[in-house]
Amino acid sequence: MDPSRKILILVAGWLCLLAWDRPVSAAGGSLTLILNDESSGEPVISRVEFFRGAAPANHSGRPEKQMPIRQTVPAGIGVVVDRQTVLELPDGGYRFRIVRGPEYRVISGTFDLEKTSLDDKTVALPRMVDMVGEGWLSGDCCVVPSANSVPLRMASEDLHVAAVLGDRPAKPIPRRDSDDPIEFDPIWIRSDVHAHQGLMYFGAAEKATEQDAEQTPEGEGDTAPDNSFEHLVAETSAGERSDLKVAIENPFAWELPVWLASGKIDGLFVMGDWLRLDKRVLSVADSRMKSSFSLGESTQLGRYAETIYRHLLDAGFSIVPLAGGGDQSAQTPLGYNRLYVTSRSRSSSEVESPTLPESESEWWAGVWSGVSVATNGPLLRPLVAGKLPGHVFTAQTGEVLELHPELNLAVRDPVEYLEVIHNNRIHYSARLDEFAKAGGKIPPIMAQESGWVIIRVMTLYEDHYRAAVTAPWWIEFDGRRRVSPESVSFFRDWLGDYEQRLLKLPPDELARYVPFIQAARRFWNQR
C-alpha cells in the first residue's frame, strides 16, 4: 500500500473535554470571553453553552437548563459567541461548554463573577480534524427557517452548506455592522426546498409566505393536495422541474413502500429529527414503529432508520443517504446531523483522492451521486479498493472481485464498534482497540455476485444513536443490481400493514388512496 494511504485512527474520545485547571475569577462585574482558533490564532465563531453553578444542577437525564446571554444569537442549544462576548451576570460561579461542530475538541471550563470585577479571557479552540483540507465539505440537508442568522449559526458549527425550508427575514446580528461580513467560506444556502407529509423536495417551486397566505382570499391560491401521493405526483409531473430531487424525510412513515414503488425517490434521511440534542425521541407519531420500542431503548430509532436504509439497498434501490436537522429540529444546533460530501479526483489514478467541491452545484451533485458520509459524530473518510463511496464495481459471471476496505477515522466519543456491511450481512466487526491491534487492516471482500457495501462506526453515546454511515459502493455482475427476496418481503409486509390501517378510513376518503396502493402492490409483487 502507498504509505500516503496508510490508515489513520485519531481517537479524541474521552480527551475531548479540556477543562481549565483553575476557574477564571473576573476582577470586576463582567467577563469578556474571546474565542480564537488554536492553529491560526484568528478569531472564531462558535456555539457556547452557559450554566449557572459550579456543578450540574440535575441528574435526571434531561438536558440541563442553559442561561441566555444578552446580545447573542440563540443556537437551539446555547448561543453563538461571535468571536467574543461580554458576560454580565449575577454574582456567582458559572460553567460553559464550547462546541464548534464535530471537527473541534469540546472545551469545558468554569468562571466566577463578583460585583466589582472586570476581566477578559481568551480561549483557543483546538481543531481535531480539518475535513475541508482533506477534500470533504459538510452540509445540513434540512434546516428549519429562523429569524436568527443562518450564516452566523453555520459558521459557529463549522458547517458550509444548508438546505433551508423557505426564506425568512433575518434579524440583525448583535454587535456586528452590515459592513462587517462573516468571514467563513464557503457558505452555500439554498431555500428552494420544502417538506410535505414526510417527503422533502429539492429544487421545488417557491412556496407562498405566511403573509401571502393571509392576503389570499379563502378558496384561492395554493391548492396542493393534502395526500402525500397526490402531492408527489403533482410536484414531479411539472415539466419545468427536471432538476427536482425528492427525498424521504421520515423513513418510518406508513407511506414508505408506496413512495418507493413510485420510482420518484432520490434520497432517504438516515439521520434526521429523531436524533436531537434538545430531547430524547423514542418514537415518531403516525409512523410504523416496532412493538419493542415500548421498552424505550435510546438508540432504537437511529438503528431502525439504518435498518430501513439497508433493506432499501438490498431491494435494489439506488437511493442515496441524507442527513440533517429535519423539519422538527428548531431547537437542535445546525449541522448536528450532517452529510460530508466530496468530489472524485480528476486524475486517472487507480486510488481516488477526495477533491473539495468547487461550487454549490458540484456539492449537491456529489450528494445525489452518493460520494458522501452521514454522521452526527464520528469523522470517517473511507475507501473500498481505492474508490470513494458511490463507485460501481463491475464484473462478469465467473469472476471474483477482491475489494479491500480502508478508512481514516476521528472520534470524540468512545467507539462501540466499526463494521463493514456487505449485502446486508456483517462482513467485519471490531471494537476500535481490536481494529488498531490488527494494524487497521480489514479482511477483503471476495465478491462473486451483485451487491453493495457500506461502512459504519457506532459510538457508545447513551442518549441516542450517534454514528457515521457511508453511502454505498455498488457491485454489478453482468450489469445487474442485487434484489434480495428478504428485503422485498420487508417492504411488502410494511405495505400490508399500511393497507390494513387504511381500511379504517371512510369509503370516500379511502378511494383516494386505492390507485396508489394497487400500483404499489403490483410493484412489490413483481419485484
Q: What is the pLDDT of residues 225-247, one digit of tens each?
A: 678 999 999 899 875 567 899 99
Q: What is the pLDDT of residue 12?
A: 41
CA distance 29 to 142: 41
Give the pLDDT band (50/70/90) at residue 402.
very high
DSSP 174-229: TT--TTS----S--EEE--EEEETTEEEETPPPPPPHHHHHHSPTT-S----SSHH
pTM, to two decimals = 0.91
Whole-number Å distance between alpha carbons of 473 and 450: 11
Give the C-alpha separation, 92 to 371, whole Å.
50
- Higher pLDDT, residue 10 or 77: 77
Does 215 score more than 70 pLDDT? no
**Closest to 46 measured CA to CA, from 105, 94, 93:** 105
What pLDDT, on a 0 to 100 scale, did the predictor assign at position 212? 35
Burial class (CB in 10 A: 0-12, 13-18, 19+), 358: exposed
| CB contact set of 476 (below 8 Å; sequence gap of 6+) | 392, 393, 394, 395, 450
The answer to whether residue 8 scores a pLDDT higher than 50 is no
In eight-state DSSP terms, residue 275 is: S
Task: Please write the tens of the pLDDT for every residue from 409-456.
Answer: 999 999 999 999 999 999 999 999 899 888 989 999 999 999 999 999
334-349: average pLDDT: 88
Q: What is the DSSP string of 80-130?
A: EEESEEEE---SEEEEEEEE-STTB--EEEEEEE-TTEEEEEEEEEPBS--
Higher-confidence position of 12 and 174: 174
**Which pLDDT score, from 0 to 100, does residue 30 have?**
82
Looking at the predicted structure, is the pLDDT value of residue 224 above 60?
Answer: no
pLDDT at residue 27 above 90? no
Select from 442, 525, 455, 458 the least CA-distant residue to 485.
525
Mean pLDDT, the chain, whole residue set: 88
Chain centroid to CA 225: 29
Beta-sheet pairing, 9-11 with 405-411? parallel
**pLDDT for the residue numbered 65:** 76
pLDDT value for 271:
98
Label residue 168 by pLDDT band (50, 70, 90). Answer: confident
DSSP 308-346: HHHHHHHTT---EEEE---TT-TTSPTTSSEEEE-B--S
Give the model's pLDDT for residue 106. 96
Please indicate whether residue 436 or residue 8 has the higher confidence score (pLDDT): 436
Q: Does 127 score more than 60 pLDDT?
A: yes
Highest mean pLDDT among 68-77, 89-98, 371-380: 371-380
Closest C-alpha among 467, 436, 443 to residue 8:
436
Split at pLDDT 50, 70, 90, the class of 31 is confident
Partners of 259 in the β-ladder: none
% of the chain beyond a pLDDT of 70: 87
User: Residue 70 carries which side chain, given as an amino acid letter?
Assistant: R
**Residue 91: Cβ within 10 Å count:** 11
Residue reference for cell 429539492: 202
Residues 147, 152, 158, CA angle at the centre, nearest 5°? Answer: 135
Rounded to an integer, the average pLDDT of 193-209 is: 79
Say if CB 113 and CB 26 are below 8 A apart: yes
pLDDT at 213 exceeding the cut of 60 = no
What's the grid cell of residue 462? Answer: 447513551
Please, how many CA atoms are within 13 Å of residue 185, restricted to the half-sphere of its CB? 4
Nearest partner of 334 among 158, 118, 475, 509, judged by Cα = 158
Give Cα 412 distance to the centre of its chain: 17
Predicted local distance difference test score (pLDDT) of residue 91: 84
> How would residue 56 be classed by pLDDT, with cut points 50, 70 and 90?
low
Helix, strand, coil % in the chain, rounded to nearest 5: 20, 30, 50
Residue-level pLDDT at 240: 56
Rounded distance between C-alpha atoms, residue 338 and residue 65, angstroms = 25
Closest CA to 277 of 321, 335, 322: 335
Domain assignments of the chain as residue spans, ordered by start: 17-125
| Residue showing cell 450481512 | 425
Smallest Cα–Cα separation from 134: which of 426, 353, 394? 353
Amino acid at 206: E
- The strand ranges marked E within 317-450 are 320-323, 338-341, 372-375, 379-384, 392-395, 401-403, 405-411, 415-422, 425-430, 445-447
Residue 120 has what pLDDT? 85
% of the chain exceeding 90 in pLDDT: 72
Task: Establish whether the linkage from the previous residue to 378 is cis, with ω within 30° of 0.
Answer: no
C-alpha cell at 133: 483540507
Question: pLDDT at position 119, please?
Answer: 80
Report residue 153's pLDDT band, with 50, 70 and 90 as the boundaries. Answer: very high
Q: Which CATH superfamily is domain 17-125 in?
A: Carboxypeptidase-like, regulatory domain (2.60.40.1120)
Looking from the CA of 208 toward its CB, the CA atoms found within 13 Å total: 12
Helix (H, G, I), strand (E, B) or coil at 234: helix
Say which residue, 189 or 92, is predicted with more confidence.
Answer: 189
